[in-house]
Structure 1
């Protein structure tokens, strides 16, 4: 007897990532999209009907999905987290740009259901973060600059992934504690700075580069995502894993064997 497929709900079904998740689910054996919602009217995606997001509470109650996958905006994600908590549905969210109070709201939901929040679902980014931590710790005194590039419609800057990488650097380098966003005019580098540069252009999926320089040498660590499918696949991996977990707060590193990603991952 075959096992029941993983039943997922998808919010923001009309958005870039919502569509990617639904299309990735359609191509993956053992996954079925039971609920798809969007805040504006949207045509079916990969054969899945998209309902009004205002109906999410009722849909979660009637369809009883195993997990909800969210890539929307901070306000929406918090509302969906509350709906998941009420319905007893685990939540995977890749939304970024949260205020601290909104993170607290998500954590409150994790006291009722499993919540997995990640700024990036690419396995290569998890490897990049481990490499950056190791390199930054091994090169004390070296200057650190971070540059990230995304498509011209991305709203938050710097990206959530960039913020996670900056957190990683600051965790292992006590001498770096000031994030300087771009430079203009008379702006020589000061002690304690980490340079941060956000670029928005065209349809770039996502690039993150960390530069470490000192002692007459440079080290550059870079990750480039070829398309959004890599994030959708990772989100489905996270959803399948989270569906079997106890309530609590998780990060994508928990999904990866031996992963070291921060559990808050913002």
Structure 2
């Protein structure tokens, strides 16, 4: 994701990357015109308007703390966060604008709203969320599956069932199924290229950079009239 963000941001005239940070020491300080640092050097970050974070749960806290200390916006796609980390996001949102999403695909943002509406319209139907990802993905169910399940729970008042598959190099597939006697409704999103997540995160960063403090969802930020 970091490489995709850097590559796609370089193609745009409305964004400027001031620094990139990674878990380990970079092989060189400047790569393609962008200064690179290890996460241990985060406190010395240059001035910025918004930080984009796609790390691991153990790397999330320093980024959130930096944004809160400097009063800058944060866009994060780090999944597997603890309840304490989620509480910290809500805390920080009192002073800065924060976007957190399990999936930055704009299609998934729309799918989430469709799932909520379908669940509300079909309260007596069985509901299942099935997700498939590549073999290297650690968390199961995926953060996106849990996010879709939460939308279904809002609509129908109870959690759906989950199923997870890990195979090959699947980028990401999510199916939300509603079933009753004699019929079945499926809402499906398939990702075939990881660039969609980077593009969504960059769009979210542009929109949230100068927003008032608060915690924003991707759909409400990108599609306020949905």
TM-score, normalised via structure 2 length: 0.93
Q: Assess if the C-alpha contact under 8 Å between 2:123 and 2:155 holds in 1.
A: no
Asked if residue 42 in structure 1 is aligned to residue 26 in structure 2, the reply is yes
Counterpart residue number, 2:94: 111
Distance 1:45 1:212 in 2: 48
Say which SS state the counterpart of residue 32 (structure 1) adopts.
coil
For 2:139 and 2:44, the matched residues in 1 are separated by 31
How far did residue 253 of structure 1 move?
1.8
* Match of residue 13 from structure 1: none
Please say if residues 52 and 75 of structure 2, whose CA atoms lie closer than 8 Å, have aligned partners that are also in contact: yes
Q: Matched residue of 1:31: which SS?
A: coil
Asked whether the 8 Å contact 1:36–1:49 carries over to 2, the reply is yes
2:2 is aligned with 1:18? yes
Aligned to 1:221: 187
Deviation at 1:42, TM superposition (A): 3.1
Question: 1:72-221, aligned counterparts within 5 Å?
Answer: 72-174=55-157, 176-177=158-159, 194-221=160-187
- Aligned with 1:33: secondary structure? coil
- What is the SS of the residue equivalent to 2:62? helix
Q: Structure 1 207/46 Cα, relative in aligned 2: closer, same or farther at 3 Å?
A: farther
Q: Contact (CA 8 Å) 1:22, 1:45: kept in 2 or not?
A: no
Give me the whole-angstrom Cα distance separating, in 1, the residues matched to 2:223 and 2:187. Answer: 22
Bigger radius of gyration, 1 or 2?
A: 1
Give 1:53's aligned residue: 39
Distance 2:164 2:26 in 1: 31
Aligned partner of 2:17 in structure 1 is 33
Q: TM-score, normalised by structure 1?
A: 0.79
Contact 1:150 1:207 in 2 (8 A): yes
Determine the structure 2 residue equivalent to 1:256: 222
SS state of the match for residue 52, structure 2? strand
Equivalences, count: 224
Partners of 1:122 and 1:259 in 2: CA distance: 18
- 8 A Cα contact 1:19 1:45, kept in partner: no
Q: Which runs of 4+ in 1 moved over 6 A?
A: none
Gaps in structure 1 of 5+ consecutive residues: 1-16, 178-193, 261-266
Residue 184 of structure 1 is matched in structure 2 by: none
Q: CA RMSD in A?
A: 1.6
- CA separation in 1, counterparts of 2:216 and 2:109? 14
Instruction: Call closer, same or farther: CA 1:256–1:89 in 2, change over 3 Å.
Output: same
Residue deviations 1:40-79, cap 9 Å, x none? 13346655342111111111xxx21111000001221122
Cα distance in 2, alignment partners of residues 23 and 88 from structure 1? 27
> Does the C-alpha gap of structure 1 residues 254 and 133 become closer, same or farther in structure 2, counting only changes over 3 Å?
closer
